[in-house]
Amino acid sequence: MGKYTDPDWANSALITIDVQRDFALPGAPAYIGGTMEVVPVLQRLVRAFREADRPIVHVVRLYRPDGSNVDVCRRQALEEGVSLAVRPGSDGAELVDELKPSPEVRLETEPLLHGEMQGIGEKEWVMYKPRWEPFTRRPCTGIFKSLA
Protein backbone atom coordinates (compact mmCIF):
# COMPACT_ATOMS: atom_id res chain seq x y z
CA MET A 1 0.00 0.00 0.00
CA GLY A 2 1.08 3.56 -0.55
CA LYS A 3 -0.17 7.07 -0.97
CA TYR A 4 -1.49 6.28 -4.46
CA THR A 5 -3.08 2.95 -3.61
CA ASP A 6 -4.38 3.38 -0.04
CA PRO A 7 -8.18 3.57 0.11
CA ASP A 8 -9.58 7.07 0.42
CA TRP A 9 -12.13 6.16 3.09
CA ALA A 10 -13.62 9.66 3.24
CA ASN A 11 -14.64 9.31 -0.41
CA SER A 12 -15.33 5.58 -0.60
CA ALA A 13 -18.54 3.70 -1.31
CA LEU A 14 -19.07 -0.05 -0.92
CA ILE A 15 -20.54 -1.89 -3.89
CA THR A 16 -21.83 -5.45 -3.63
CA ILE A 17 -22.73 -7.23 -6.87
CA ASP A 18 -25.14 -10.14 -7.37
CA VAL A 19 -25.22 -11.26 -3.73
CA GLN A 20 -28.72 -12.59 -4.28
CA ARG A 21 -30.24 -15.81 -2.97
CA ASP A 22 -30.47 -17.51 -6.41
CA PHE A 23 -26.72 -17.02 -6.91
CA ALA A 24 -25.55 -17.54 -3.33
CA LEU A 25 -27.52 -20.35 -1.71
CA PRO A 26 -26.45 -23.96 -2.33
CA GLY A 27 -29.08 -25.69 -4.45
CA ALA A 28 -30.38 -22.42 -5.91
CA PRO A 29 -31.04 -22.31 -9.68
CA ALA A 30 -27.97 -20.22 -10.55
CA TYR A 31 -25.77 -21.16 -7.59
CA ILE A 32 -22.21 -19.84 -7.74
CA GLY A 33 -20.07 -21.99 -5.50
CA GLY A 34 -18.22 -20.23 -2.71
CA THR A 35 -20.50 -17.21 -2.50
CA MET A 36 -21.84 -17.98 0.98
CA GLU A 37 -18.28 -18.53 2.20
CA VAL A 38 -17.47 -14.85 1.51
CA VAL A 39 -20.76 -13.49 2.87
CA PRO A 40 -19.43 -13.15 6.47
CA VAL A 41 -16.63 -10.90 5.17
CA LEU A 42 -19.13 -8.88 3.12
CA GLN A 43 -21.37 -8.65 6.17
CA ARG A 44 -18.53 -7.15 8.22
CA LEU A 45 -17.75 -4.67 5.43
CA VAL A 46 -21.40 -3.65 5.12
CA ARG A 47 -21.62 -3.19 8.90
CA ALA A 48 -18.43 -1.08 8.92
CA PHE A 49 -19.69 1.15 6.09
CA ARG A 50 -23.04 1.61 7.87
CA GLU A 51 -21.29 2.51 11.12
CA ALA A 52 -19.02 4.96 9.28
CA ASP A 53 -22.05 6.52 7.56
CA ARG A 54 -20.55 5.73 4.13
CA PRO A 55 -22.62 4.90 1.03
CA ILE A 56 -23.45 1.31 0.09
CA VAL A 57 -24.86 0.19 -3.27
CA HIS A 58 -26.12 -3.35 -3.77
CA VAL A 59 -26.17 -4.13 -7.49
CA VAL A 60 -28.68 -6.82 -8.49
CA ARG A 61 -29.66 -8.73 -11.60
CA LEU A 62 -33.32 -9.40 -12.39
CA TYR A 63 -34.62 -11.54 -15.27
CA ARG A 64 -38.11 -10.74 -16.52
CA PRO A 65 -40.36 -13.82 -16.72
CA ASP A 66 -40.62 -13.47 -20.51
CA GLY A 67 -36.81 -13.51 -20.80
CA SER A 68 -36.74 -10.21 -22.68
CA ASN A 69 -33.77 -8.96 -20.66
CA VAL A 70 -31.86 -12.20 -20.27
CA ASP A 71 -28.17 -12.24 -21.18
CA VAL A 72 -27.34 -13.61 -24.64
CA CYS A 73 -25.45 -16.54 -23.12
CA ARG A 74 -28.63 -17.65 -21.28
CA ARG A 75 -31.14 -17.26 -24.13
CA GLN A 76 -30.72 -20.76 -25.54
CA ALA A 77 -31.26 -22.33 -22.10
CA LEU A 78 -34.42 -20.24 -21.71
CA GLU A 79 -35.66 -21.36 -25.13
CA GLU A 80 -35.00 -24.97 -24.07
CA GLY A 81 -37.22 -24.55 -21.02
CA VAL A 82 -34.70 -23.88 -18.26
CA SER A 83 -36.29 -21.78 -15.52
CA LEU A 84 -34.83 -18.36 -15.02
CA ALA A 85 -33.24 -17.36 -11.75
CA VAL A 86 -33.63 -13.97 -10.03
CA ARG A 87 -37.18 -13.47 -11.28
CA PRO A 88 -38.66 -10.16 -10.10
CA GLY A 89 -40.67 -10.67 -6.92
CA SER A 90 -39.22 -14.11 -6.19
CA ASP A 91 -37.43 -14.98 -2.95
CA GLY A 92 -34.42 -15.99 -5.05
CA ALA A 93 -34.04 -12.47 -6.44
CA GLU A 94 -33.67 -11.01 -2.95
CA LEU A 95 -30.37 -10.02 -1.39
CA VAL A 96 -29.05 -12.60 1.05
CA ASP A 97 -30.43 -11.81 4.50
CA GLU A 98 -26.96 -11.21 5.94
CA LEU A 99 -26.52 -8.05 3.84
CA LYS A 100 -29.94 -6.50 4.38
CA PRO A 101 -30.30 -3.65 6.88
CA SER A 102 -33.37 -5.49 8.20
CA PRO A 103 -35.17 -8.75 7.37
CA GLU A 104 -38.25 -6.83 6.17
CA VAL A 105 -36.39 -5.25 3.24
CA ARG A 106 -37.62 -6.55 -0.13
CA LEU A 107 -36.66 -5.45 -3.61
CA GLU A 108 -39.10 -3.12 -5.36
CA THR A 109 -38.51 -4.76 -8.71
CA GLU A 110 -40.61 -2.66 -11.11
CA PRO A 111 -38.98 0.67 -10.21
CA LEU A 112 -35.57 -1.06 -10.23
CA LEU A 113 -36.21 -2.50 -13.70
CA HIS A 114 -37.04 1.02 -14.88
CA GLY A 115 -33.69 2.38 -13.74
CA GLU A 116 -34.65 3.80 -10.35
CA MET A 117 -32.45 3.21 -7.33
CA GLN A 118 -34.20 1.84 -4.26
CA GLY A 119 -33.26 3.26 -0.89
CA ILE A 120 -33.10 0.52 1.73
CA GLY A 121 -31.38 2.37 4.54
CA GLU A 122 -29.52 5.49 5.48
CA LYS A 123 -27.01 5.98 2.62
CA GLU A 124 -27.82 2.50 1.27
CA TRP A 125 -29.39 1.69 -2.10
CA VAL A 126 -30.14 -1.14 -4.50
CA MET A 127 -29.45 -0.70 -8.21
CA TYR A 128 -30.52 -3.01 -11.06
CA LYS A 129 -27.91 -3.85 -13.68
CA PRO A 130 -29.28 -4.58 -17.15
CA ARG A 131 -26.17 -6.53 -18.20
CA TRP A 132 -23.21 -8.26 -16.57
CA GLU A 133 -21.28 -5.03 -16.21
CA PRO A 134 -23.29 -2.87 -13.78
CA PHE A 135 -22.40 0.54 -15.14
CA THR A 136 -23.01 -0.04 -18.85
CA ARG A 137 -25.07 2.78 -20.33
CA ARG A 138 -25.34 4.54 -16.98
CA PRO A 139 -24.15 8.03 -16.08
CA CYS A 140 -21.88 6.77 -13.28
CA THR A 141 -20.81 10.18 -12.09
CA GLY A 142 -24.44 11.13 -11.55
CA ILE A 143 -25.11 7.97 -9.58
CA PHE A 144 -22.18 8.44 -7.27
CA LYS A 145 -22.63 12.19 -6.85
CA SER A 146 -26.13 11.46 -5.57
CA LEU A 147 -24.68 9.09 -2.97
CA ALA A 148 -22.44 11.67 -1.33
Q: For residue range 11-55, what is the model confidence (pLDDT) as tens digits? A: 889 999 999 999 999 999 889 999 999 999 999 999 999 999 999
Q: Domain locations in the chain? A: 13-141
CA-nearest of 16, 31, 36, 14 to 86 is: 31
Please say whether the beta carbons of 88 and 113 come within 8 A: yes
Q: How many secondary structure helices (H) and strands (E) does the chain include?
A: 5, 4
Q: What are the angstrom distances between the C-alpha of 114 and each of 57, 108, 129?
A: 17, 11, 10
Q: How far is CA 8 from the centre of its chain?
A: 23
Instruction: Give the pLDDT of residue 65.
Output: 83
| Residue 136: C-alpha distances to residues 16, 129, 131, 140 (Å) | 16, 8, 7, 9
- Distances 147 to 11, 42, 92, 125 between C-alpha atoms, Å: 10, 20, 27, 9
Question: At the fourth CATH level, which superfamily is domain 13-141?
Answer: Isochorismatase-like (3.40.50.850)
Phi first, then psi: give them for residue 14, nearest 5 degrees: -100, 130
Please indicate whether residue 111 or residue 136 has the higher confidence score (pLDDT): 111
Res. 141 pLDDT band, cuts 50 70 90: very low
Convert the pLDDT of each residue in 83-129 to its tens digit. Answer: 788 999 999 999 999 999 999 999 999 999 999 999 999 999 999 98
Residue 3 CA from chain centroid, whole number: 30
Instruction: Choose between 131 and 57: higher pLDDT.
Output: 57
Q: What is the pTM of this model?
A: 0.84
